[in-house]
Amino acid sequence: MKYLWYLFLPPILWANPLQEAIDNARPNSVIELGDGIYEGNITIDKPIGIVGGKNAKAIIKNCGTGSVITIESSNVFLQNLVIKSSGHRKEMLDSGIKGEKIDNITIKNCRIEDVLYGINISLAKNLDISSNYISSKDEKRPLRGDAIKLWYAQNVIIRDNTVKKARDVHIDRSKNITLAGNRFLFNRFALHLEYSDKILVQNNFFQYNDAGILTENAKHIEIINNKILSGKGSARIGVVLKGGEDILVKKNIVKYNSKGVYVDAKPSKKAKTKREILSNEISFNLEGIHFHTIIANNVIKYNKIHDNLDDVVKDLIGYGNINNTVEYNYWGKYRGFDRNHDNIGDTPYIIKRYMDKLWNYNNKIKFFYGSAVLAWADFLCEIAPFSEPELILEDKKPILKAPPKPLEAP
């Protein structure tokens, strides 16, 4: 965007000429706002920039109806603004910033709050959403709108934002998306990737969300070097992998959740899904890795999996294991020897599912996990099971001692 000329606006509390200034501005100009409150419900229909001061005290505010800013032009730049008080109508997708069929949009260092949807953009490409604070209405999680909602978007950078007390960041049917350096706090599905392609999720921080990352029928997904901690709410899941193709989960820290990694795969030998779960630390969860149906097409290597109540859990019986590679993981519950001192256990680490372990099926019983009664029941199940146990997972080359740094291929 070329800064050809500038239009300075004074703060006006009861009315302001912001929409008029936009209508009268020449294309590729920049409107600079002084500190103050400006009336919202504005429409940007030409390539311009709207910029506040560095302290972001220029407030564009609605009266609680409609969207605050509607973008109808490509090549728009918004920076250093407070955008607040959208309407509440979900069927209208009332938003802080709303746009459709637009390209080359930059939204930077803005505070977007008390809005139903934060940034809602569809049929767009070349978006830069960086260094913003975004939150929704002060409602229960299911009644909030998405902090960022993208539909059929391409070539998007979402970087260094804080998303707090919203519903989801929902990336739907979009391609070439980078999410890096963001913080997700007190949301529902902090990050929901649905039917999207070529997504990089790197160096983000997730805490107190119902679920940290949910991939649903997405493909070519890389989830690298994120911290996913302390799930909160009814689900309390770190990462959900549902369907899709070519998913890499690498060097993440997944701690203090009900379920660390939840895998929901179709019970079909022909499923295209391939998951690589590499060099992660999955610890202090109730369940480290939870498989809903079949255990198929997984590469699980170099992970540190320890101090979970259960390392691996499987819901349904009989689907078995297909085309998995499981090796070189450190398991805190592994008990074995290393006679040749190569730091690889002499015997495999085998996880079996005993039908007698009632705490795998009933959370009320799981409350008493570790008590003397259940400890004896667990011991009896393993030495004299009442039914034939089902093999869940076998690591043929378990690591005996894990270094403090992430495990990686030699």
* Superfamily for the 1-137+149-161 domain: Single-stranded right-handed beta-helix, Pectin lyase-like (2.160.20.10)
Average pLDDT of the segment spanning 88-113 = 96
What's the whole-number mean pLDDT along residues 97-109?
98
2 pLDDT above the threshold of 50 = no
Mean pLDDT of 262-273: 74
Partner residues linked to 8 by β-bridges: 32
Instruction: Identify the residue whose tokens are 């498989």.
Output: 291
| pLDDT recorded at residue 243 | 86
- Considering the segment(s) 168-354+394-410 as one domain, its CATH architecture is 3 Solenoid (2.160)
Q: What pLDDT shows up at residue 54? A: 81
Determine what percent of the chain is predicted with pLDDT higher than 70: 85
Residue-wise pLDDT for 312-324, tens only, equals 998 876 677 788 9
* pLDDT at 386 (0 to 100): 53
168-354+394-410 and 1-137+149-161 share a CATH fold: yes
Q: How much is the average pLDDT of 182-203?
A: 97
> How, if at all, do strands 189-194 and 169-172 pair?
parallel
Measure the CA–CA gap between 19 and 355, rounded to whole angstroms.
67
pTM of the model: 0.89
pLDDT of residue 233: 83
* 71-88 tens-digit pLDDT: 999 999 999 999 999 999
Mean pLDDT for 371-378 is: 54
Report the percentage of the chain scoring pLDDT > 90.
70
Residue with tokens 């709207």: 50
Q: Helix or strand or coil: residue 80?
A: coil
Q: What is the pLDDT of residue 64?
A: 83
371 vs 346, residue with greater confidence:
346
- Cα→Cα distances 346→86, 299, 329, 339, 341, Å: 63, 21, 14, 7, 10
> Domain locations in the chain?
1-137+149-161, 168-354+394-410, 355-388
Kindly tell me if the per-residue pLDDT of 95 is higher than 50: yes
Mean pLDDT of the chain: 88
37-58 pLDDT per residue, tens: 999 999 999 999 999 988 878 9
* DSSP line for 330-373: EETT-----TT-SSB-SS-EEEEE-TT-GGGT-HHHHTTTTSHH
pLDDT band at 388 (very low <50, low <70, confident <90, very high): low
What's the rounded Cα separation, in Å, for the pair 32 and 51? 5
